[in-house]
Structure 1
């Protein structure tokens, strides 16, 4: 079987813009051997492997197997029969043991796993003692070796490896490369690596995507035949088994999730009941005498904004009004050396719940309370006086207390 890339160009579209990754690249791969792909980040190394694996399609050009263009309508058969992929991020199933992870991909591809071959691989990669462990119990280097062993067991003509030594120390990295070179005696192995020194030690067939070389020919053989897919001879994967293992592995999480959902539903029902009860209580209170619940009456007359004495007396004499308080509205004033104040005012009734930083509730009509933000912003303290000019009349206000900001947010008096 011979793999070729013919004048491959790959770009990605982002709106109206295109990002070119590979440009007019042609490669004749050998039938077997170790081929390395090097280049800086973003040079297209992973994209090249994805094109070979049929995960992505080229924007232009062809991927050829045995001289015939890759048939993307049957890409699953091609990947099943020809491709094994060692991913950079392991892709192990957490609910399966190492042994079950190893044989899963072979079963999907319909290949019988020889126990002797499995033992040879696991011992060479030093993962035999880990066969009964789960992925969560392994280190990054151990997971990487499990991923390698899983690909070797598939025994496909092409093995693609994305940084297979990235998580390994120097000794283990060399051992993995030795095993890749051994595997490459009968298979085509294409490896991505940033470790140029390690790569050149084990392969002379190097594709350097930083060199801007467009043509590589590692194979002088020109005799091709139409590639044929291997038929799946093994029985179908026992889906029920893997589903059962997943449920058992996630049992605690499922129970916790069920309990949390049940608690959420109960809390939501109680909240709705509380809201409904509170609303019914408010409606009952309002039915007694709605006018008594009014906390502010404002006049919307642009010619005369203030209430007249006659209008105030009418409100005082209304039997439905229990009490009448006044609110002074102003947006600016003058304090000390012609400093302009930007304030808002509120009527605050005396209450046991008011927290004072200093001072006490006003006992006279010309006294006010201010909040912390106002006191800080204008450097005000107890007994300081503010004066305002309204309709050419001057009014003096004396600070009797400073209250905590939770009463009103902003600069308020």
Structure 2
């Protein structure tokens, strides 16, 4: 048995070995630094959004005792909420609330509460009709001017009043659950995000239903069935170019084609989803082709060897194994579509929409567009509402991506 010869460790060899180890340590340090920097930027972004946006989920309220017994308010138990609110309005509830504000703040008190403040009292009476028989303290929404004064801005003449009420505990910020249930408004005290959120949901449904099946089928055809010739090469290059086209170009296409075919559906989720589907489809096709190409040839050969037809090979063996990769591309495409505003600007989804859409053909806006519109407002109250809307958008994006990742892991198979 021959002896093992150890290499001679010359000074030059030792120096090269130290340099190699040092380069490896530097590479690891650079990689770790990149990860730490990325996490720090993400934490800074989230902390900034949370710090600015928490106030957007609140609104300024004024605690006022309201004597409801003097008017003999009454509602029918068989009425729904909308009918009961109208009945209370007819019986003079808004005037009662304004009178209570004047008693608490003086002759100008009615101007310091929001014109829709009485609706909170109406909902409380509907929930508990016994409240209409006596005097009760309600949290009334303040006017925009008083809310700005409480925040330290706005009219200087109102700031002493706001400070006095705050010291007495009558003026404060309260959680606004209606922010997630209302639609857009001109008053930051009354705005809500539900209309834009619902519009985004409808738009993403249309986008997914159009882009995913067409993109997957196109990827299957190009990878499994298309002949290798010049025309196929032209199609592949065109798809790669479409994935890099600025999104506003797709908006021009939607304006010129879809709105010409459906002129009555301007600003509808149907048109928005069709436009975003064109933008998302190339991403799904490219990721789908790469995922299909990554399936080992042995899978195809084994399926053919046991008598499967070419179509069965593709749909029973290749596609299930490629589905996790296809879903990864779908996540990227849908996340990009969710945050788009430029193409939707051109098809009219910039409109002021005060009621949530009830279907795919109703007028609607989307979360990024709502954020854009609110950021253009000069009122300070819209600054916090804008940050709150960004938080809602991020949560919606995380939920959508979480569902896609769950499906990807569920369908993932090892071979």
Q: Which interval holds the TM-score relative to the shorter structure?
A: under 0.3
Higher strand content, 1 or 2: 1
Which of the pair has more CA radius of gyration? 1
More relative contact order, 1 or 2 (CA 8 Å, 6+ apart): 2
**Structure with the higher fraction of residues in helix conformation:** 2
So what's the TM-score if we normalise by structure 2?
0.19
